[in-house]
Structure formats: structure tokens, C-alpha cells
Structure 1
Amino acid sequence: MTRTPETLARHELVGLDVRVTAASNPDLLDIEGEVVMETTNTLHIERADRAWPARNDVPRDVRAGQRGATRRESEAVSPPRAREKLVPKAAAAFEFTLSDGQRVQIEGERLVARPARRTEHTGDSTWR
């Protein structure tokens, strides 16, 4: 089944571009980026303005930590998690961008469920 505006809430959200359009916490407004992880109650959004190199750009020996390297040196090459924001689904509304460029608004309440359980529902599902 292809992702359409009507069926988006029943699909996998990881990898989609998203923007928070409404939230009970004003600090969450206008967070945008890519969904990198989803839990029952939250979306983990990696902002596009991340300031670290991609995993493949860092040499393997540096990623693994060189022998004798101090903790401070190994922390220097670890990417900071500050660019990834945790947004509660129930307290926000989201605008997802599909691969064909369509933008779809979804209330977070419709997404509150285990991702695997939400995507397997058919028929009279509340997520339709």
C-alpha cells in the first residue's frame, strides 16, 4: 500500500520529513526535520541543521575509540544528541511531507499507539 494523505497515519513514519505545527508546549513549535525513531508516545525528530558529520564520514577507528584515547577525546568525535528532539505525539499536531511533495496534517492523538500495532490495523481502525 502506498502512502497517501488518507492512509498516512497507518504507515511507517520513520524517514519522513515532518514539522510540528501546533503544540501545547510553545518550545516544540516549528521543530522540523526527519523522523528518525518512533515510540508509542513520541517522535524523535532529527533537525536538518545538525552540526556533525554523517556516520560514514568518521573513520572507523575513531568511531570505535582508539586505544589510549581519553574520555574527553572520544566524546569529541561522538555526535551530540542535541540536534534530535523528542516530541510527544499527544500534545502536538504534525505536518508530514510525502515523497511526491504533498503535505499532510495529522493530529498527534491519531498517532498514539505502538508503531507496529498502528500499522497493522485495517477495517474499522481509529487510525483510518
Structure 2
Amino acid sequence: MPLTPETLPRHELNGLPVRVVDSDDESRVGLEGRVVVETTKTLSVEVRENGTSRVLTVPKSGSVFEFAITDDAADFEKESGTAFKLADSKPDSDANSRADSECAGENVAYVTVDGSRLLSQPARRTETNGDSPWQ
């Protein structure tokens, strides 16, 4: 199954670029990085700042995530939940660094997903056979 904005919650999230666009904890809003570990209730995001890297855990419940997906997803222009630019929640000084990131480009779609849609065991959520409610 191709990775599209509509099927993103049914795919593996590890390795995807992500940004927290809303959260119950305001200090997490704007957190940007790559998903390195997904558990039933959390996403662990590797954040790189000033040449250093750290992993921060963000609860899925109470958070809204924006994932950058490529290839087929970019063909689904104007689909529900899809944007072709990250929402501007940072000052303009950060806009240039975002444009230079590996996520920028024509073939990238940004998909916003409420974390509550991801609340399940990752292996169970991504199943396509059997009695999975996520089929």
C-alpha cells in the first residue's frame, strides 16, 4: 500500500520527519526532528540543534503531528490534511533553515495527524491482514 496522506496512520512512522504543531504541553509545540522510536502512547523524536542531537519523547495523546512524506503522497495535492508547506509557527529567522532542510522540495507533502489516531501498538496498527480494525 503506498504511503499517502490518507494511509499514513496505517504505516510505519519510524524514520519520518515530524513536527509537533499542537500539544497540551506548550513547550513541545514546534519540536521538529525525525521519529526514531514509536510506542503505543509516544513518539520519540531525534532533534538536532547546534551540531548536537537528543531524543525527546512526545505523548501521542493531546498532540497534533505534521509528517513529511514523499513520492506518491506529493501527487495527492489538496487532499484532506495535506499541505505543501509547514505551518509558520516559528519566527522568520528559522524559515530559511527549514527551507534548506532535507524535507524541503517539490515532491514532499506535509500531513497533519491528531495523535489520538495513532494510539495503538504500532505493529497492530500497521497490519493489513486478519482482523485488524485499521484495515
* CA deviation profile, 1:52-93 (whole Å, cap 9, x unmatched): 5xxxxxxxxxxxxxxxxxxxxxxxxxxxxx711100001200
Are 2:61 and 2:116, in contact at CA under 8 Å, matched by a contact in 1?
Answer: yes
Q: Secondary structure of the residue that 2:126 maps to in structure 1?
A: helix
Higher share of residues assigned strand? 2
**Residue equivalent to 1:87:** 58
The alignment status of 1:119 with 2:113, answered yes or no, reads: no
Kindly, what percent of the aligned residue pairs are identical?
A: 45
Are 1:50 and 1:83, in contact at CA under 8 Å, matched by a contact in 2?
Answer: no
5+ long unaligned stretches in structure 2? 72-107
Q: Which amino acid aligns with 2:7?
A: T
Counterparts of 1:11 and 1:5, CA distance in 2: 10
The alignment status of 1:97 with 2:68, answered yes or no, reads: yes
**Residue equivalent to 1:40:** 40
Q: Which amino acid aligns with 1:119?
A: T
Change (3 A) 1:124 1:86: closer
Q: How does 1:1-128 map to 2 (within 5 A)?
A: 1-49=1-49, 51-52=51-52, 83-100=54-71, 101-120=108-127, 125=133, 127=134
Q: Which deviates more from structure 2 when the two are superposed, residues 95-104 or residues 42-51?
A: 42-51
Structure with bigger RCO (C-alpha 8 Å, 6+ apart): 1
Q: Secondary structure of the residue that 1:120 maps to in structure 2?
A: coil
Q: Larger Rg: 1 or 2?
A: 1
Q: Secondary structure of the residue that 1:48 maps to in structure 2?
A: strand
Change (3 A) 1:124 1:118: closer
Q: Which amino acid aligns with 2:63?
A: A
Divergent runs of 4+, >2 A: 48-52, 121-125
Counterparts of 2:123 and 2:36, CA distance in 1: 15
Q: Secondary structure of the residue that 2:36 maps to in structure 1?
A: strand
Give the count of matched residue pairs. Answer: 98
5+ long unaligned stretches in structure 1? 53-81
**Deviation of residue 121 (structure 1)?**
5.1
Counterparts of 1:99 and 1:28, CA distance in 2: 25
Are 1:34 and 1:48, in contact at CA under 8 Å, matched by a contact in 2?
Answer: no
